[in-house]
Structure 1
């Protein structure tokens, strides 16, 4: 014996069918009106960076020489690190580190004994280079000035 459909079930099915038909009708109306087509959504950027809805004119094309295109940044070895001057502001020989105060702008830089000569002491005038360390810029390749 087949189960009879309840009143609610038939009503829900009718509503679903009606929504489906309305959706199909709206879809056909959109197609007929030509709105919301892909061509309406395309935007172009002109040579001045302004967004327009007209495609660019191919006769205004600017030729770019392949030599003028920069592909990469210059290598690090092409740029020399400047040699800076400073004074040893603090040095702890037991722990093997210290700070150098740069003479021209008074910035302080950390240094480790492995980057310094063995006879370095507080108050020495030194030359050094900078290198990025885990906690900021560090003084490296330190030499005591005579």
Structure 2
């Protein structure tokens, strides 16, 4: 009589493979039962209440507020339109380097230091001169242009 070809070790490996296959099948069935794919659209909706919390109940239409799109502020608040009088400022030349061709003016109202270049001068200026000037936005901040001495 011939002996069986299956040894104890082979039987144990086969048992492990069957157990692993059953566990895998069981996990697949659990995933199918708990998946969101079969839900209808209403069950997947999420709502935000008046406090900003996420809920699954739709908001009450009687508490609805109407908001105009003009009232929504994004980024920087609107600044009032500048007139020609607002653009002309007064100040004092605090620093001027003739050889390099630039200087700084201290604004009388805001006390901020504003850069100017000789190309923006309409008259010759020196340090401590009282001047009027207009401001424009430059690459690194405000620049003074149309700089004139106050007589």
Equivalent of 1:46 in 49, 53, 58: 49
1:56 matched to which residue of 2?
Answer: 59
Confirm or deny that 1:79 pairs with 2:82. yes
Q: TM-score, normalised by structure 1?
A: 0.64
Q: Which runs of 5+ in 1 are unaligned?
A: 1-5
Confirm or deny that 1:141 pairs with 2:146. yes
- The structure with the larger Rg is 2
Aligned-residue offset at 1:63: 4.9
Equivalent of 2:27 in 23, 28, 32: 23
Aligned-residue offset at 1:117: 1.6
Q: TM-score, normalised by structure 2?
A: 0.62
Q: Which runs of 5+ in 2 are unaligned?
A: 1-8
Q: What is the alpha-carbon distance in structure 2 between the residues aligned to residue 11 and residue 109 of structure 1?
A: 85
Cα offsets for 1:53-91 (capped at 9, x unmatched): 310233544456xxx432999999x43353221011121
Cα offsets for 1:101-125 (capped at 9, x unmatched): 1223432221101111242222221
2:69 matched to which residue of 1?
Answer: 69
Q: What is the alpha-carbon distance in structure 2 between the residues aligned to residue 100 and residue 23 of structure 1?
A: 76
- Where 1:109 maps in the other structure, the secondary structure is strand
Q: What is the alpha-carbon distance in structure 1 between the residues aligned to residue 28 and residue 124 of structure 2?
A: 88
Aligned length: 134
Equivalent of 2:126 in 121, 124, 133: 121
Contact 2:121-2:148 at 8 Å conserved across structures: yes
Q: What is the alpha-carbon distance in structure 1 between the residues aligned to residue 145 and residue 97 of structure 2?
A: 17
Aligned-residue offset at 1:13: 4.6
